[in-house]
């Protein structure tokens, strides 16, 4: 998670998210830096609108409680759908970290 946090910190500071800056942020925290993870993170973020991704994540987390309202059958379907989406997202993030 510290790799993603470093990218978000750089982005919020209006700094480019590149390998050198990510390494500096991680180094400043005392964390061990894995060169491969840094390269994968930077490559995965190329062309990604981080602001839009954060907005979509916020909308998804707000929409999840609203999906639970209603019939039990609908709730089970929504939970399955949400679980599938979370698994897909986790798989994508897992690819960043080997």
d(CA 42, CA 38): 6
Residue 89, CA distances (Å) to 73, 74, 83, 95 in order: 24, 22, 10, 10
Architecture of domain 2-96: Orthogonal Bundle (1.10)
d(CA 21, CA 10): 8
Q: What average pLDDT score do residues 28-56 get?
A: 92
Say yes or no to pLDDT of 42 above 90: yes
On whether the pTM is more than 0.95, the answer is no
Residue 34 has a pLDDT of: 95
Neighbours of 25 (CB within 10 A): 21
Say yes or no to pLDDT of 36 above 70: yes
Domain ranges of the chain: 2-96
pLDDT tens digits for 54-93?
Answer: 888 877 776 666 555 555 556 666 666 777 776 666 665 5
- The pLDDT mean for the chain works out to 80
């Amino acid at each position: 998670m510290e790799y993603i946090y470093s990218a978000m910190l750089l982005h919020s500071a209006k700094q480019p998210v590149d390998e050198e800056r990510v390494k500096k942020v991680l180094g400043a925290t005392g964390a061990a830096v894995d060169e491969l993870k840094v390269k994968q993170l930077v490559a995965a973020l190329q062309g990604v609108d981080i602001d839009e991704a954060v907005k979509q994540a916020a909308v998804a987390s707000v929409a999840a409680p609203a999906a639970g309202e209603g019939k039990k059958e609908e709730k089970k379907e929504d939970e399955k759908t949400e679980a599938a989406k979370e698994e897909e997202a986790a798989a994508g993030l897992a690819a960043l970290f080997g």
